[in-house]
Amino acid sequence: MLTINTNNKMAQERKREEYAIVLDFLPNGYPFDNTPRKTAIVQAIGKEHFTLLEIVPKKDVFVKPYEEVYIGDGKRDKVHHINGKLAVERLTETAKAELEFVIIDMVNKREKEFIDFFNNAQPLSTRMHSLELLPGLGKKHMWEIIEERRGEPFKSFDDIKKRVKLLPDPKKLIIKRILNEVLGKEKHLLFVG
């Protein structure tokens, strides 16, 4: 379920990731790490809340980019532990290169959730609507979306494109917004936990 982040405890508990998608696997750890016994590192993104994570796999486990790994509280097959959130500056070049493709794939698989955002988005204040936080979407398009969804909720990205004239590709708007949020380029968070 997509919600605008809040500071209450219940929202914080929901932000725990159960699964992550591998962006990069470093079997010998970070090249700049000078410790004598390096551990393998996995750079990944959470499947539900798009959280960048640094994961330590179990000994002799190898993972590939795009692989889904379980990181929840239950028995983990491939993950020993999670070091924590991963700072954007620490992303490897491979992880940076894979990030957009992984986000595109996740948006495609979760289209209904993002359509629900278009159908249910609300104002943030008297001057700003949450739809306006999507890159390239101004007041004119915002009002057209609101008017169209009053008659009938949107069913797909294609449905939005057909019904809202001259709107940039809504799927690309969502992908760009998520990518900007993950990379720390946005003040208000719509999708990233």
What is the C-alpha end-to-end distance of the chain, expressed in Å?
11
Whole-prediction pTM value? 0.86
CATH topology of domain 9-90: OB fold (Dihydrolipoamide Acetyltransferase, E2P) (2.40.50)
Q: Find the DSSP H helices in 26-154.
A: 93-109, 111-120, 139-151
Residues 38-79: tens digit of each pLDDT:
889 999 999 999 999 999 999 999 999 999 999 999 999 999
Fold equal for 9-90 and 110-182: no
Checking if the pLDDT of 8 tops 50, the result is no
Sorted by where each begins, the domain ranges of the chain are 9-90, 110-182
Give the span between the Cα atoms of 123 and 3, in whole angstroms: 13
Residue at 165: amino acid letter: K
Is 167 in a helix, a strand, or coil?
coil
Checking if the pLDDT of 185 tops 90, the result is yes
- Nearest CA to 157 out of 99, 111, 97, 192 is that of 111
> Is the CB of residue 65 less than 8 Å from the CB of residue 94?
yes
The confidence band for 14, taking pLDDT boundaries of 50, 70 and 90, is: low
Residue 91: CB atoms within 10 A of its CB come to 21
Checking if the pLDDT of 141 tops 50, the result is yes
Checking if the pLDDT of 106 tops 70, the result is yes
Class of 110-182 in CATH: mainly alpha
